[in-house]
Amino acid sequence: MKTPLATGVKLDSDPSGQSVEIKTYRGMIGSLLYLIASRPDIMFATCLCARYQANPKESHLSSVKRIFRYLRGSPSLGLWYPKLSSFDLTTYTDADHAGCKLDRKSTSGCCQLLGNKLVSWSSKKQNCVSTSTAEAEYVAAASCCSQVIWMKTQLRDYGQQYERIPILCDSKSAIASSANPVQHLKTKHIDVRVSEIHLRV
């Protein structure tokens, strides 16, 4: 396989599907979760399949097998850390609006690079249901920003000082909301919703 997940695939609980052996399925997911420490290209697909470990179906097992076939066809792929690369911290963020078919929550994705070296990445379902693409992107960018601030303080201990760290996002609405203080008045509903969820947890 050329990709770990087919384009446009939206896994759901598949209640009418044929059940598979839970122990085998969980073992396969565990192996993939161990592997994502060095293969960020399979992180989203693996985490998506891991959501259905309680009651896996054949459709879920088929997606997991596709990831293994992708890995078998790309054994030489991995992370490359060039020696003479710069030490500039750059981060990218994106969101899949309402991607989960069960609860319609979006998935945030981000990665941080030191020069050309990928050092941190994540793919996580958001805690709240976003009502628009701009809101999903805004929540993803805010989560990414907190990760960047933590990395900045850690790198300061190693003598690396950063004045400005670019966070690259492909949503003009999310960029406008975060860059313009006047727009912050229009995002109070996002803060309230996220704060309510954190309080409940």
Domain spans in the chain, listed from the N-terminal domain onward: 1-78, 89-200
| Tens of pLDDT, residue by residue, the chain (201 residues) | 999 998 878 888 999 999 999 999 999 999 999 999 889 999 999 999 999 999 999 999 999 999 999 999 999 888 888 888 888 999 999 998 888 877 888 999 999 999 989 999 998 888 888 888 888 998 898 889 889 999 999 999 989 999 889 999 998 888 887 777 666 556 665 665 554 434 333
Cα gap 177→185, rounded to integer Å: 9
pTM of the model: 0.79
Q: Which class for 143: exposed (0-12), middle (13-18), buried (19 or more C-beta within 10 A)? A: buried
Cα gap 110→137, rounded to integer Å: 11
CATH fit for domain 89-200, picks 3.30.700, 3.30.420, 1.10.3470, 2.60.40 = 3.30.420
